[in-house]
Amino acid sequence: MEFAANILGVLFVLGGVLFMLVGSIGLIRFPDVYCRAHAATKVDTLGIMLFILGIAFFTGFSLISLKLLFVAAFVALTAPVAAHALSRRALIHGVKPWTRKGKEG
């Protein structure tokens, strides 16, 4: 049973690291603040949650894993709200979304 939990923990941690890597690439490649906020929020929220869930598998059923699950729930609730607030402020302050100029069709 402990071996299976360790394998699941490794898979979740690696999945979280992969999602965070993809989100980091999105932060570099995307053209404007709105696309970057999307990459940072959606991908990294899932990456952090997978990472925390993997650590919870490593610790087993304990108070530490319960606290980790509370942290994952907190991240799931607050990260999208924070990105929405930042994007809304950027729009209010006149930051224009990126458009494809020069491409017709």
pLDDT in tens, 28-54: 898 888 988 888 888 888 999 999 999
The yes-or-no verdict on residue 20 having pLDDT over 80 is yes
Residues in the chain: 105
Q: How many CB atoms lie within 10 A of CB 39?
A: 20
Would the CA dihedral through 92, 39, 29, 23 be positive or negative? positive
Query: What is the rounded average pLDDT of the residues 52-72?
Result: 91
The yes-or-no verdict on residue 16 having pLDDT over 60 is yes
Which pair of tokens denotes residue 59?
């610790």
3-state secondary structure (DSSP) of residue 96 = coil
Q: Where are the domains of the chain?
A: 2-92
- Look up the pTM and report it: 0.78
Tracing tokens 């108070």 back to the chain, one arrives at: 63
